[in-house]
Structure 1
Amino acid sequence: MSDNPQKAYELLWQEIKGGNHSSILAICSNLQGVLPNDLDLLKTKIVALIQTSKFQEAFELIQTVQGLDFERAYISYKLGNFEDCLRVCEGKSDKAFRQLRAQAFFRLSWFEQAIAEYEDLIKNDPSSQELLINFSASFSGPGLGDRGINHFSLQHEGGWEILFNRAILQTDIGHYSEALNSLREVENIVTKDSSLEEEKWIVKAQIAYIYQLMEETQTAIEKYEEILKQTTDLNIKAMIKNNLIVAKEHENKEALNELKSSLGDENKLTALQKAGILLNYALIAFKRKKIQEAEDILKECEKYKVHERRLGSINAYILMKEKKNDEYKNFLLEKHQPWAYLLLIKILLQQHKQKEAAEISLKLKSEQSAFNDQDFYITMSHILEDAGYVQQAVELLEEGNKLFSDRKICEALGNLLMKIGELDKATSVFQQFLNKNDDKAIRSSLVIAAANSYAKWVKANPTVSEAEKNKKFQEIESLKKGLINKKDALYSLRQGDEDIFGVCDRLEYANVNWKQKVEEKKVAEVARKKRKRKPKYPKGFDPKNPNNPPPDPERWLPKKERSEYKKKNWKKQKKLKGPQGAMPEVMGQEVGSFNRGPSTAHIEAAGEKKRK
């Protein structure tokens, strides 16, 4: 073939039109002997290497060629060199380059940059399903769930991929029951399609993770172990091994080996996943007294620029455990981040150093930049509430509600007001939010607050007329607008005044007090599973065919404690009553004494002189 280049080129063209990349690669290799510096031939070979997934060979060959920037960036992306990929894509405005840049941002877990890139791409191509799927996945970073789930471009129904990404966002914001419903819907879709076998196990792994977050640890462990037996995907196995170690609270040498194997080069984990596994490894290593190894891993985690909050928390924990009190305080204060201040306040409150915690709070008040985060207000209110400063927590949330007017902070303020019994005020807070925004979760909270307020009013006014009761009740019924449909079932509140407090249980989708319900369920299951112990019988005794009388149930007790022994003790003589020395008389005579007669008891003895 090398003897006739023209014929080889014709054959090569036929293979290119047919898309037979293995054949293209073989022909290019033969032609290189004749034309080693042919640029078109080198480009064709590089593309064939990419199509056959021989990325390392393609990377070595492309170093000898000028141009081919997109192929160069794509090869770097596939080899996991995401920062090199970004360097090549920098300044390029073509859609292909921008899409590759957005994917590199996502793989590096630089979620804000990925979101911004995808938003611009979607403006020019709003109907692209691929862009919408990747865009929805970009909100999977910590703390971005609330933004993603309310984004206008993700509100309409999409494929199973968008539904799966929505479930991840619902998990991030704590709506676990909604996330489970979404994932079960996705599971039904992917199970029916045989080409989506591996995707099925990804969905199952996410379901198990939600059970783990809901503290149903045993259910999560069973699901994880089932997936490990079935799937062959290395990425899924790596993440499940990590989650299993956390669920089982393993801190032994085997746990460290499992985590180390999960970080192998063959596993294509994102930066967020790698950093999560490394942080768990560092924590276990520290607990096993491998201090230097733990510190080295924490330094390695810093280069990923993710999990900043957890990384800082573990660093502070290590310093605190080593009793370097001044160092961990300075470490957290130097971060100048709300989460660092909050962590320090929490530690000080646990150490009963309320004065120092108050000083940090005042410092935060003076630094307005720290208060630009609404999550700070919510977390700070929880800390104040736990410390007993409930009124200060309410005031802080009221201030945050005025600044942000966001669903999360409104919900936190309303729930706290309901907890302390200020139901009318809570109703007003929810109503003010709904006047500007329509939100199902807030509307359900409004119905709960109004219903409890109504029940409280009925109990306080037992003589009120039925007409007035009905009038107030109809006001609550009118608040349910937009809640009754197939997905968001809300049963009628008209179940009697005494049952109106149970409205929380009749809001299926609101996920109200789920933790309390889970705990009650666990207690009920434990009580139901309590085993009745069979009585122990002597050796050789058959209770079905007893030849002798049944064994004494008190045979395990000491003899002095048995009832028969006590009865025998009572059969003694009667105890004597009365003053000491008194004796019973029989016919004028003391029992056991001499007969009465003349006595010399009072006669003075001879020779005894009276004393004056």
Structure 2
Amino acid sequence: MSKDPNQKEAIIKAAYADINKFGQNGEYDKAVKAVNRILGVAPDDQTALHCKVVCLIQLSKFEEAYKFIEKNKLSSSLVLEKAYSEYRLNKPEQALKTIDNAGINPLPDSLKELRTQVLYRLERYEECFDAYKEIIKNTNDEYENERRTNLSAVAANLAIDKNKEIPELPEETYEQYYNAACIASNRQKYAEAEKKLRASEKLCRETLEEDGVTEEEMREELEPIRVQLGYCLQMQGKLKEAAIIYAECLRNKPKDPVLVAVASNNSIVINKDQNVFDSKKKIRSAMSDACESKLTSRQKKAIALNNCLLAFLTNSSDQVQQLCQKLVQSYPDLEFQTLLIQCSQLTKDKRQKEALELLNKYAKVHKENAFASKFAVVQLLLSQGSRKEAIDVLLSLGEQMYKPGIISALVTLYLGTDNKPAASELLKSAVEWYKMNNVSSGDLSDMWRQAAEFHLRGGASETAASSLEELLKLNANDMKVLAQLVIAYAQFNPKRALELSKRLPKLETLTTASEIDALESANWVMSTKAVKKSANAKIEPSPSTPVVEKKKNRNRKRKGKLPKNYNAEVAPDPERWLPKYERTGFRKKRDRRAKDIIKGSQGMASGAAEQYDMSNRANLGKNSPATPVYQEPTPGPRQQHRKGGHKKKKGGRF
């Protein structure tokens, strides 16, 4: 049963009025209900269908909006809404296809801007940069600053290619300062980027404080700047400051999953093989599904590679092999890096033969990375102590072996194997090769200098002279090299040595007469302080300088300290400084092995009994020897006050 046409029109009119009111108030959920009232009475109303799609997009119901467009066959009429829904559903290729196949020429400004954003998501930065330049040139409205900010963001990604020229862009807002800092950091100018980021942070605070935003909203705006600042500090080696910034960002739990992924990944790099449990937690958050759609391919690649390295550091052998295989499948350009990780893990597992086979096999197939893979082979051989095999691999590099670094490594290996003649021949061939090919690869002064000194020590004066000649070409004013060259030529070509010696500076230009006199008068045995004192003493003051007489220091002789109870009338013991056992009054123990042992009654000999018999006083005549009486020697001054000797203290020791 059909409704009254007047009633139908009244319902539609009232519903549109509600849609307008709810749309102005931002109440899109109520607006959807009003649209449904219209579609209930007029399901083919194109305006109502369009309003419902817009309301669903405003409510971020992109999947529902896309299905509604497809169901009602609105693709041709609602190109912008369909492409935007696809863009927000992380289908940028499909969105670009929708715009390009719409057949609209020329594209309206809204579709142009959407197409430019899609190109940015697809990482087609050159096309995106040109598109933004054209839009900025042909439009003039209130969104000009936003477009210039987006243009600088595109330029920051283009700056990764060092050969790409980036035009100067304005730096007026804090977003533009931020993008300018990203350009500098991608050019590896980290100090300059740090200054711009600090300026961006300061300007951001001032701008948001003027707008009166909350502290939480200000923190959300500042967090990307802070994380980028942490990256610049990290690349400058300021790891502690960077780690503090990342930890603070993760503690605040930002809503942007890209910030979480970047801060987590960079923290893992700082941790390395420390805090492995914390690194495992962070790598999971960095590789979550929420981050997958918003990260650039370069960021995803770095996180995936770090995941393999973390597994390697945690000694997860099976996991390393699995992750490396997945990494190669996802990013074929990382094949060599994953190969190095795999070989490192095999070496850890003491499977060096398998690692060498993998590297040699890769070098045969991939000629572009053969040079680097052979260096990895050399590293493995040296870790096993196989120096001769490592030398053979380096010699197989052909003309690339004449690079200064490889020559240095080969000379070191030859000397390590006590093969000095081979090292000398290698240096000779290197000198001849550089002369024949006229190659100038960077600064070769160190190589020529080392070769010359090596040959001079070995007595190969002609080869040393050729190296010194090359070194002199690089710096004609180096008198040290010229002097060495004269010494070298003097051994086999005196005429050439004489010619070169004329270029040496004369002795008078190098030293003055006063310096020579000072050297001749210097006493080399004296200390440096004494030499300075003597030099200062010889300096005569000028006539205008007043002469100040220095007072002579009179050293007063101190009286010696005397012991207590010192008696000046008693002469000191002449043996006071001798040890006790060397003094005359010292009683020695009887030597039982002595020959004159007294025997007899009471331990007396029979012949001496009468002599020592004190009862027979008649025997004590003039001819009898006197009884030896021991006299106590005069005590010294140190012993005079020790009359009481040592007393035993109560409860103590002597």
Report TM bin, short chain.
Answer: 0.5 to 0.7
1:502-526 Cα offsets, whole Å, 9 max, x none, are xxxxxxxxxxxxxxxxxxxxxxxxx
1:398–1:413 Cα contact (<8 Å) kept: no
1:190–1:197 Cα contact (<8 Å) kept: no
Question: Structure 2 residue aligned with 1:168, among 174, 177, 182?
Answer: 182
1:241–1:262 Cα contact (<8 Å) kept: yes
Q: Which residue is 1:122 aligned to?
A: 133
Question: Structure 2 residue aligned with 1:277, among 292, 299, 303?
Answer: 303
| Whole-angstrom CA distance in 1 between matches of 2:436 and 2:44 | 75
In the TM superposition, what are the counterparts of 1:314-329 in structure 2 within 5 Å? 314-322=338-346, 323-329=354-360
| Whole-angstrom CA distance in 2 between matches of 1:103 and 1:395 | 56
In the TM superposition, what are the counterparts of 1:523-538 in structure 2 within 5 Å? none
**How many Å apart are 1:13 and its aligned residue?**
4.4
1:89-112 Cα offsets, whole Å, 9 max, x none, are 44677354454344334434x3xx
Cα pair distance change 1:10/1:187, threshold 3 Å:
closer
Q: Which residue is 1:241 aligned to?
A: 264
2:308–2:323 Cα contact (<8 Å) kept: yes
| Whole-angstrom CA distance in 2 between matches of 1:151 and 1:360 | 39
Residue type at the aligned position of 1:42: L
**Structure possessing the higher radius of gyration over alpha carbons:** 2
| Whole-angstrom CA distance in 2 between matches of 1:78 and 1:396 | 59
Q: Which residue is 2:393 aligned to?
A: 356
The answer to whether the aligner puts 1:69 opposite 2:79 as a matched pair is: yes
In the TM superposition, what are the counterparts of 1:247-266 in structure 2 within 5 Å? 247-249=270-272, 250=274, 252-266=276-290
In the TM superposition, what are the counterparts of 1:490-505 in structure 2 within 5 Å? none
The answer to whether the aligner puts 1:5 opposite 2:20 as a matched pair is: no
Gaps of 5+ in 2: 1-6, 347-353, 383-389, 412-426, 451-469, 477-502, 512-578, 583-592, 597-654
Question: Structure 1 residue aligned with 2:167, among 152, 164, 181?
Answer: 152
| Percent of aligned pairs with the same amino acid | 19
Q: Which residue is 2:493 aligned to?
A: none
| Whole-angstrom CA distance in 2 between matches of 1:279 and 1:334 | 23
**How many Å apart are 1:170 and its aligned residue?**
2.3
Task: Tell me the matched-pair count.
Answer: 412
Cα pair distance change 1:26/1:218, threshold 3 Å:
same
2:56–2:64 Cα contact (<8 Å) kept: yes
1:98–1:117 Cα contact (<8 Å) kept: no
Question: Structure 2 residue aligned with 1:103, among 113, 117, 124?
Answer: 117
Cα pair distance change 1:259/1:75, threshold 3 Å:
same
| Whole-angstrom CA distance in 2 between matches of 1:280 and 1:419 | 41
What secondary structure, in the 3-state scheme, does the structure 1 residue paired with 2:162 have? helix
| Whole-angstrom CA distance in 1 between matches of 2:445 and 2:49 | 66
**How many Å apart are 1:313 and its aligned residue?**
0.6
What secondary structure, in the 3-state scheme, does the structure 2 residue paired with 1:63 have? helix
| Whole-angstrom CA distance in 1 between matches of 2:504 and 2:28 | 79
Residue type at the aligned position of 1:136: S
Moved over 6 A (4+): 380-400, 412-424, 457-462, 571-574, 591-594
Question: Structure 2 residue aligned with 1:136, among 152, 167, 172?
Answer: 152
1:68-95 Cα offsets, whole Å, 9 max, x none, are 2332222122122233333334467735
2:327–2:338 Cα contact (<8 Å) kept: no
Give TM-score, length-normalised by structure 1: 0.55
The answer to whether the aligner puts 1:198 opposite 2:224 as a matched pair is: no
Cα pair distance change 1:172/1:294, threshold 3 Å:
same
| Whole-angstrom CA distance in 1 between matches of 2:339 and 2:167 | 39
What secondary structure, in the 3-state scheme, does the structure 2 residue paired with 1:144 have? coil
**How many Å apart are 1:282 and its aligned residue?**
2.7
1 or 2 for the larger relative contact order (CA 8 Å, sep ≥6)? 1
Residue type at the aligned position of 1:229: R
What secondary structure, in the 3-state scheme, does the structure 2 residue paired with 1:324 have? helix
Question: Structure 2 residue aligned with 1:219, among 230, 241, 244?
Answer: 241
Cα pair distance change 1:181/1:119, threshold 3 Å:
same
| Whole-angstrom CA distance in 2 between matches of 1:183 and 1:394 | 50
**How many Å apart are 1:247 and its aligned residue?**
0.8
Q: Which residue is 2:607 aligned to?
A: none
**How many Å apart are 1:269 and its aligned residue?**
3.1
Residue type at the aligned position of 1:248: N
Residue type at the aligned position of 1:356: V
What secondary structure, in the 3-state scheme, does the structure 2 residue paired with 1:33 have? helix
What secondary structure, in the 3-state scheme, does the structure 1 residue paired with 2:284 have? helix
| Whole-angstrom CA distance in 2 between matches of 1:418 and 1:189 | 53
| Whole-angstrom CA distance in 2 between matches of 1:89 and 1:394 | 62
| Whole-angstrom CA distance in 1 between matches of 2:84 and 2:434 | 51
| Whole-angstrom CA distance in 2 between matches of 1:146 and 1:166 | 15
| Whole-angstrom CA distance in 2 between matches of 1:295 and 1:60 | 42
Gaps of 5+ in 1: 366-379, 401-411, 428-456, 466-570, 575-590, 595-612
**How many Å apart are 1:207 and its aligned residue?**
1.7
**How many Å apart are 1:232 and its aligned residue?**
2.6
- The root-mean-square deviation of aligned C-alpha atoms, in Å, is 4.9
Q: Which residue is 1:184 aligned to?
A: 198
What secondary structure, in the 3-state scheme, does the structure 2 residue paired with 1:53 have? coil
In the TM superposition, what are the counterparts of 1:324-473 in structure 2 within 5 Å? 324-331=355-362, 334-335=365-366, 337=368, 340-341=369-370, 343-351=372-380, 353=390, 355-357=392-394, 359=396, 463=509
The answer to whether the aligner puts 1:31 opposite 2:5 as a matched pair is: no
| Whole-angstrom CA distance in 1 between matches of 2:245 and 2:266 | 11
| Whole-angstrom CA distance in 2 between matches of 1:130 and 1:458 | 67
**How many Å apart are 1:12 and its aligned residue?**
2.9
2:343–2:355 Cα contact (<8 Å) kept: yes
Residue type at the aligned position of 2:305: L
